Chain A
Amino acid sequence: MSASPSYGSRPWTFYVLATLFALFVIFLYGPMIGVLILSFQGPSASLVFPLREPSVMWFDELFNPRRTGDVVGAFYRSLPLAAFVMVLTVLISVTAGFAFRRRFKGATAIFYTAIASLIVPGLVLSIGILVTFRYLGLTANWYTSGLGAHLSWALPFGLLIMFAVLGRLNPSYEEAAYDLGATKWKTVKEVVVPIVFPGMIAVALFGFTLSYDEFPRSWLTIGSKNSLPLEIWTMTTNVTSPALYALGTVTTVVSFIVIAIALSSIFLIQRKRS
């Protein structure tokens, strides 16, 4: 009797894990797709399935508010705020990353101090910032206290990414540039930044989305006018129309566009190099 050769069939664990993953994907994207569909609800204004007489009237409602809040205004605050956070996170993370490449005294302490703000509860931080601003006689505003609060969240992520990216950067690239007569500034500009550019895009992406979605740290720091997540939260308490879903759809689309731009630029750079 000879055993038939086995070419490796899939073990039972494969099916268990595949099922788990499928459930995870449904849980992740199912509600999002539900919101997307219901944002095209007709004039019946029903908040639940089924979809009747599909229309875009709730998008119209969103941008020409009669009953909903100041969504457009909130969007025009959240977008520039996210852009500021993005630019500052990239600038600070990259320069700090360079600084940390050369071991200096107290580097570890500074690193942990920077990272610690990830652990501080956002709502507590929000209260703390407001109290401090009041004490100093300053008015909370999205471009002052709000910006600072968001940076306390986005910067540690940016730092961690840049440390990983620069940690993998072979020092011999910089030495080769020096060998070929490049000054320090030219080495950064012509060699280091181009090589780590995909990492910088990743930092930018994190900076933007972390700020754009941030709720707890915005709560008390954003000032008298809401950012988008706060506006959505307000709407859930006083708007009972599919305009809420339309808003969900629009913000999700904006996030996806940002991610798509970032990922495709990383992809294009990588493809050009290989």
Chain B
Amino acid sequence: MLNFLSVAVNTYSGFGMPFSLNWIGNIIKSLIDGCGSIGIGILLFTLILKLITLPLDVYSRISMKKNSIKMERMRPQLEKLQRQYANNKQLYNEKMQALYKKEGYSMFSSCLPTIVTIVIFIIVINQFTSYSRFTNLSMINAMSSEYTQAVVTYAEEHSDVLTVEKDEEGNVKSVVVNDSLFDSDYCAELKTGGIEKTDTATYFLGSYKATDIDSLAKLVKSLNEKGYQYYLYNEQFVYDEATETYSINSDRWESDNVKDLIIADYAAHNENNLKKENITDEQVRDKINSIISSSIVDYKFYNYVNDNVKPVGREAAAKSYRENAPKFLWVKNLWVPDLPWRHPVFSSLTEYDFYNQLAQGDAKQAEFAEITANLEDEKKAPNGFLILVILSIGIMFLSQFVTNKMQKAQMELQTVDGQAAQTSKMMMWMMPIMFGVFAFIYTASFSLYMIGSSVISLLATVITNYFVEKHFRKKFAQEDLARDKRIVKNNPADDKKIK
């Protein structure tokens, strides 16, 4: 009971990181760090991944287009076969294979590359998910340490009124307000109101006391009129007294309670010989005076912390977020889906607890609330406007459309009933919907990856198509011409047969 006051600013140690990145995550991280922009980093990652698979991709696209031209040439024969073997799928397949061989049509498309693509896709989804969790958690951890850093720096700059408490290992435990704050200008109001520091060595009923109880009553009244919700210790009777009447009269106090407090104070200083009946009215008045005075000083100290120290920490935390915010174009946080009803900063710590491995006590919740106190706007702001979702659906649809058109002949002729063409028509809707769902579930950065990847594929398709078309149409036309000429020369009658 030596000191009523132990007002402190909490310092924070962050929320922990229950998982680490693997090497793919580290590649993404170093690309993003290297580019300085998350969006560009992700697009670069997409580009690199695409460049690795591009040779195979281009090769497959060239042969796809070549095949589609050859297929068009074989169309009359295949259509004839389709009519001929309408009821025998197996035989049609065999006849078709024979025709392929004769025409030099080689199927390029095969299963292994498809399976490799699917595996890469799943790995990338996984990595983006764990990387997004890693980043979101890192972000609030960084905010936490920035908060502590700022508060400690502030305390060191104001070492006359604040003390940084450290443990044996030198880690910051908390920042405590010194008694000397009372001597600064900040508490001038209290001093003129009559509150003074007591010599705690001899007067241990409390650290502060007013010159007389009337001036204390005036001070309480003036503070209340100024709108102070004046901070009081738990004792309800102090509160009632001070707020309802603003006049402090020892007769109205239950002096028995006060006497108990006085005896406890004396006991704390090993003076157990005090008896209730020996306590004078003067001592009771002194104790009441001391309780209320100390409460007011305590309140003032809390205000000092709330007005001067915490804003520094909150601002540092908010600044850390805003400077490192993973924003790109209109998306405020790329590691959250581009949806209007999702927010760049989550509203509670629980939402960051992706693996149920974070400490979730009240203290941690309070830590989260404190470090994000200046980010209330970000907790409510829309993260995006669905644009990436719509874009990824649109581009997927477009590339489906292009591939389908390219493979129209194969789809129609590969099976007897042309069923492949029908399933593919349905798939033209299924795939974009699937990617739309991905864009909803996963993050904006994943949508960005999908869009980048699809655009590159689409461009590769269009460009290869153009050149293959230009090159092979001519070549085939010459071949046809040469063959026709040869046939005509050898046997003019065969000419009719072929046509």
Q: Are A and B co-members of a single complex?
A: no
A residues touching B (Cβ–Cβ < 8 Å)? Answer: none
